[in-house]
Amino acid sequence: MLALLDNTIAAHAMKCVGVDTDALRSELNELVDTQTPEVAVGHGVVSKTVCGAVYRANFIGALGREGTNAANLLAGLLGERGVRQRDVVNYVTHGIPSVAVEGQEPGASVLDEALERASHAAFARARQDRLRYLSVELLLLALLADAHVDGVLGSLDAGKDELHEELGAFNDATSVVAGDDEASQPTRTFNRVMQMAVAKARSCKRDRASTLDALWAVCGERDVPVAAFLERHGIDRTDVAARMG
């Protein structure tokens, strides 16, 4: 955290969401000075807390841009001093502090609660199954559990149960298991879908992307396996858009 305070990107993000960086630096230095250092034998070991922060930081890129920078890592670490992680996520993904967004409560996410649940469910499954990639197929599997998505697919007479079964079988047959020290990484397609979902919401003058925005974005993908599944079940982007209201 002290190193991030010296990083221009992370320090700027902290100031934009209201962090007193001088006070934070002082308290962190005092904390470090009071800790008893452990002398490493051989190579140093990265703590579980740092590993978890990096793990979350890699996922934050899916919400707005590819790659991980210092502000992404900051969002993975931050959670104290009254500043919520989502404040930093909003800054990282859109370049604006959430407190400056009219009509939003402090800490409001760029995703609505339902889409957050779906994306977190996909993330949790990738972690549980120790998968190397967080794929758009995993996201679509999670979206199928959403009531709004279920309503749209029902109006299209799409076979949701069959689609769920096919996606599950495809995921089981094609997934790559992560290495022992490897965290799941969102694919470029996953990143692109999340970016398009947020862009769709903003184009409709909405603050947060919904599960239907995500479904609409998934339907726009071409030359990827998920496109064939959607086409086979008659799920089309134009039809989804017409039912989004």
Instruction: Kindly state the average pLDDT of the residues 4-21.
Output: 81
Its CATH architecture, for the domain 113-242, is Orthogonal Bundle (1.10)
Using CA of residue 218, residue 124, residue 152, residue 108, what is the dihedral sign? negative
What residues contact 175, with CB distance under 8 A and at least 6 apart?
A: 129, 131, 132, 133, 135
- Where do the structural domains in the chain lie, given as residue ranges? 2-100, 113-242
Confidence of residue 108 (pLDDT cuts 50, 70, 90): very low
Beta bridge partners of 209: 111
Fold match flag (2-100 vs 113-242): yes
In this predicted model, which residue has the larger pLDDT, 223 or 180? 223
Instruction: Kindly state the average pLDDT of the residues 10-16.
Output: 79
Q: What is the mean pLDDT of the chain?
A: 79
What residues contact 134, with CB distance under 8 A and at least 6 apart?
A: 59, 62, 122, 123, 126, 184, 185, 186, 187, 190
Kindly write down the DSSP assignment for every residue of 106-144, as one continuous string.
TT--SB-HHHHHHHHHHHHHHHHTTBSEE-HHHHHHHHT
The rounded distance, in Å, linking the Cα atoms of 154 and 136 is: 21
* pLDDT tens sequence across 63-103: 545 567 777 778 777 654 455 666 666 666 555 555 544 44
Q: Which CATH superfamily is domain 2-100 in?
A: Clp, N-terminal domain (1.10.1780.10)
